[in-house]
Structure formats: structure tokens, C-alpha cells
Amino acid sequence: MLIGGARIIQLRDKDLSGKELFDEARRSVELCREYAAKLILNDRVDIALAAKADGVHLGQDDLSPIDARKILGEKAIIGLSTHSVEQALNALKEPVNYIAIGPIFATRSKSDTSPVVGPEGISSVRFAIGQFPLVAIGGINTGNIRDVMSSGADSAALISAVFSNERSIGTMISELMDLANH
């Protein structure tokens, strides 16, 4: 991912033990530093702090952004997943650096998703939150990333599009970034 140009990596693994995730986070932080990239952890504020990660991505049922900010400090990147305009507007009141909206499309990487919001959902949230950083997540791939970006997303979180392809991860990241920027 780093070789392909990704500069923000989210470490997400629901199956690892706390120790295994911490060890992986420490290794990932070191790699990200070599490439001038940032590492954020999914959900786990404690491990983000212990591993000296750059931040955390929180869901609606995770630790509150206020508490995460108290633990991680002012310089930490804190993102919050939302699934509607109402949740996005509420997220603006929190000490977050970006808001994620999704799932944009059906996704195979998460089974307990909220209803699909589509590109229209991105546009609605973009209108509601103005220029606040917006990340689209869920089912995004080479066939739809242009629509995602043209609907108002600043960036896109990708899992299946990168890892379920026969091409190398670096090649996929590079291709997706080219598509997103044109």
C-alpha cells in the first residue's frame, strides 16, 4: 500500500488478540514512518496510544471522540464513521479530524453494515457539512471510485478493491489513486 502511494493506512483486524494487534501496530507504525505516511487504528484507542499510532477511526458504538481525544491528545487524527446526514451533522460537534460516510455500496468486508447510502448520500452529507474532510467507505472499487469522488468525497477507504484482486496491492493502490484524481 505504501509503495503504491497510500499515505494514510487504517489497521483493522477484528480477529487478532490485543497483544497481536499491538505488535502489528508497532511494526506498521515503523513502516509508515519510513514512507512519511500515517497509521490509524480501527476502534482501539488503547492500542493506538501504546503503539504511538497517528490516530484512531471510531464507529458509532465505540469510545466517544471526546474521550479518544482526551487519551490521544490534540495532535491525534480522529475519524468517525457516520451513516446519515444527521449523524454527520452530529459528528461536526465532536473533536474529529474527518467524517466517514458509508457504506456507499454493498461491501463484503463487513457484515454488520447500515443501509447503503450511494453516491447521493455522499452528496447530501457534503452539502450538510460544507468543506469538512469527508471519507467515503464501503464497496468502493475501480468501477465506481470516480463517481464517489465526483459526489463530494475527499478520499475513499478501500479494502476489497485492494486485497481481492490478482494484481499487486501497490499496483491497485496506484491505479485507484489515478482514477480518484481524474
Catalytic one of 28, 81, 151, 155 = 81
12 is known as an active-site residue: yes
What are the CB-based long-range contacts (under 8 Å, 24+) for 65-74? 65/91, 65/94, 65/95, 65/96, 66/94, 66/95, 69/95, 71/45, 71/46, 72/45, 72/48
Strand partners, 135: 100, 155
Q: Report whether 102 contacts 68 (CB < 8 A).
A: no
d(CA 99, CA 134): 5
**pLDDT for the residue 175:** 77
110 is known as an active-site residue: yes
Arithmetic mean of pLDDT over the chain: 92
Catalytic one of 110, 114, 160, 174 = 110
Block residue for cell numbers 452529507: 125
pLDDT band at residue 110, thresholds of 50, 70 and 90? low
pLDDT in tens, 118-152: 999 999 999 999 999 999 999 998 889 999 999 99
7 is known as an active-site residue: no
**pLDDT for the residue 163:** 67
pLDDT in tens, 152-170: 999 998 877 666 666 667 7
